[in-house]
Amino acid sequence: MIDCCWDNAGVSDLVKRLSDTVASTAGGTMGSAVTAMMTTAALVTKDPTLALLAAPSGAFADAVTEQGVQLITKAFFDPAERVKRLADAIADESGQPTEDFITEHVIDGAQRHLLGVVTEAATVAQSDWKIRVLARAFVHGIKEDGAIDETEMFVKATRLLEPRHVRVLAAAIHIMTKNRPGFVNTETLKEYDNGIGIAAPILWRDLVEQGFLTEINTRGNKPKGGVLLSHETKEGFVPTDLGYASGEWFTSLDAEVTVSDPT
């Protein structure tokens, strides 16, 4: 079945060799929980390369270093290592070995889909914070009745955010909720959390592009399309409905990024 996928995709001979290596080395050093999680992610996302990435590192190294390409080895194993960290975090959050938790709680299609979405998100996570959030969200979403769809939506939103983004979003929500100004800008952010630093304009522009914040003009009116008018000189923003909802979700998971958190 995997051979068919590779043939249809027209991938390189090197990747085909790596696929064969996986087939011959199943159950290797990454552990059965990680292998099962990444296989589920491959099925949910229809991306068979995720299953490839769960192969034991020594097997891949043998296949790749013949070509003299050390960086390819690392590129293949970073995602699997992140999923291993996710599995460890799930065990910490659930109080059970990850294999036992999955066996006990992941019993229907919706739960398997959430496992796949969370695992795939972990393969590209660039921070320990995001791994912790994904693990906490997975355990909460699986155990809480009716929470799977909501959890999956916020997991997809979490993919777009790094700790500094969440820090800016949390500060903006706090300022708007407690002080109720017409809008938040770089100056008010720094007054609330001076740890945000000079990157604040870049971070809140990211949040605007991703739909968590919207820009406003100096009169406190939202311009058409949420884009700041070029002739306005004072930049400001307010959280969107998605921004407020995401902030509440992070708070419910006790996953906010505070002033003391590393970023």
Give the CATH number of the domain where residue 197 resides: 1.10.10
The SS3 assignment for 2 reads helix
pLDDT at 239: 92
**Tokens of residue 252, six digits:** 């419910």
Rg, C-alpha atoms of the chain: 21
pLDDT at 233: 42
- Assess if residue 13 is contained within a domain: yes
In terms of domains, do 167 and 154 share one?
A: no
What is the rounded average pLDDT of the residues 232-246?
A: 80
How far are the Cα atoms of 193, 235, 247 from residue 188, in angstroms, in the given order? 9, 12, 18
pLDDT at 54: 62
What is the rounded average pLDDT of the residues 212-221?
A: 72
**Tokens of residue 250, six digits:** 């992070």
In terms of domains, do 20 and 140 share one?
A: yes
Q: What is the Cα–Cα distance from 181 to 113, expressed in whole angstroms?
A: 41
Percentage of the chain lying above the pLDDT 70 cut = 66
In terms of domains, do 76 and 153 share one?
A: yes
**Which span out of 50-54, 203-207, 214-218, 251-255 was modeled with the highest average pLDDT?**
203-207
Supply the angle between the helices 32-45 and 70-94 in degrees, to the nearest 10.
100
CA geometry: angle 199, 201, 202, nearest 5 deg? 65
The answer to which of 96-100, 140-144, 152-156, 214-218 has the lowest mean pLDDT is 214-218
In terms of domains, do 148 and 173 share one?
A: no
In terms of domains, do 145 and 172 share one?
A: no
Amino acid at 42: A
> 0.95 exceeded by the pTM?
no
Taking 60 as the threshold, does the pLDDT of residue 105 lie above it? Answer: yes
Domain that holds residue 247: 163-252
Taking 70 as the threshold, does the pLDDT of residue 106 lie above it? Answer: yes
- Assess if residue 262 is contained within a domain: no
For 117, residues 6+ apart whose C-beta sits below 8 A from its C-beta are 41, 44, 45, 152, 155, 156
In terms of domains, do 6 and 114 share one?
A: yes
Arithmetic mean of pLDDT over the chain: 74
In terms of domains, do 152 and 25 share one?
A: yes
